[in-house]
Amino acid sequence: MTRVGAPVLRGAAAAAWAAGLVCLAGTALADPASKPRPPEIERARAEPALVRVQGDTLYYTGNFSKASSAAFDVAVAGVRRGQLTRLVISSGGGDTVEGRHVGRWVRHMALVVEVDVICFSSCADYIFPAGRARVIRPDAFVGWHGNERQFHVLAARTGVSVADQLAAVVPADVAPGPRAAFVQEALRSIAVTRKDEAEFYASLGLDDAFAVCAVGDVLEMRPGYAGQIGWGFSPADMARLGLTNTVYLGEGRYEQDSSRFRQYLVPITADDCLALLK
């Protein structure tokens, strides 16, 4: 999740933080203990992302940000539909708007999305669903921890307004004036980006349940929770949620065979997911 360092929010600072908050589905693996990350996971956070075309494949390693989008746009300039067949991606997530920028291109190019090591957060929200088919390499994982709709889901779940839900994430020592300014700016920003997100999922013919259903403290309350950073599904449950044509290349069942799935994700079923949104 996006975390905030400055305790005082005024003017442009409030606007900047609000803009960052709508990308909170982005900053991946930001665990509270700040544990050292394995090199292959660290590479998936590269800023800007490393993007290159080789043969019929586009390779993308790193986060989603304005700088990453600039690198992406340069790498794919002049690429025509049908020239590439797949995207091999390793990403921990990042900016939601920039994630959809790449996701729309992937959809237009009708690429197979192949996950190398990790596709988490904005990658799982927007890139993985955009593929015409989906491949998860052995020991890789695809994980979710929320999207831009999550504040509305949490507000409905807890019986408070979205404004109150947003105010709850502001540090306690922020004065009332800056707190109110932040909330109003965040509401304005989210109204715009949520509409864009809804249009994105509609263009894919998908409901976003897989990306938002287990936000909040849902995972922490499940038996077997051990500090995982998000949730994941079996390929069969992905298919039930609209993510069809997904295969795992490992020898066993994906959610059991992938050590990274077991390390980073809590498994939930499609039924669990849909029930959480009722």
**pLDDT tens, position by position, 132-145:** 999 999 999 999 99
Confidence at residue 19, expressed as pLDDT on a 0 to 100 scale? 55
Confidence at residue 128, expressed as pLDDT on a 0 to 100 scale? 98
Alpha helices by DSSP H, listed for the chain, are 12-21, 39-43, 66-76, 96-109, 122, 150-158, 162-167, 176-204, 209-212, 235-240, 254-257, 259-264, 270-276
Lowest mean pLDDT among 173-177, 202-206, 235-239: 173-177
Q: What is the mean pLDDT of residues 141-156?
A: 96
Task: Please work out, in degrees rounded to the nearest 5, the angle formed at the alpha carbon of residue 169 by the alpha carbons of 163 and 174.
Answer: 95
Lowest mean pLDDT among 7-11, 134-138, 154-158: 7-11
pLDDT band with cut points at 50, 70 and 90 for residue 245: very high
pLDDT band with cut points at 50, 70 and 90 for residue 170: confident
* Backbone region of residue 94 per phi and psi (left: phi > 0; alpha: psi in -120 to 50; beta: other values): left
Per-chain mean pLDDT for the chain: 89
- Bigger pLDDT: 124 vs 30: 124
Confidence at residue 2, expressed as pLDDT on a 0 to 100 scale? 32
What is the percent of the chain with per-residue pLDDT over 70, rounded to a whole number? Answer: 87
With both helix axes pointing from N to C terminus, report the angle between 96-109 and 66-76 in degrees, rounded to the nearest 10. Answer: 20
- Secondary structure (3-state) at 159: coil
Confidence at residue 224, expressed as pLDDT on a 0 to 100 scale? 87
pLDDT band with cut points at 50, 70 and 90 for residue 22: low
Q: What is the mean pLDDT of residues 52-70?
A: 98
Q: Over 90: is that where the pLDDT of 194 sits?
A: yes
Q: Over 50: is that where the pLDDT of 52 sits?
A: yes
pLDDT band with cut points at 50, 70 and 90 for residue 8: very low
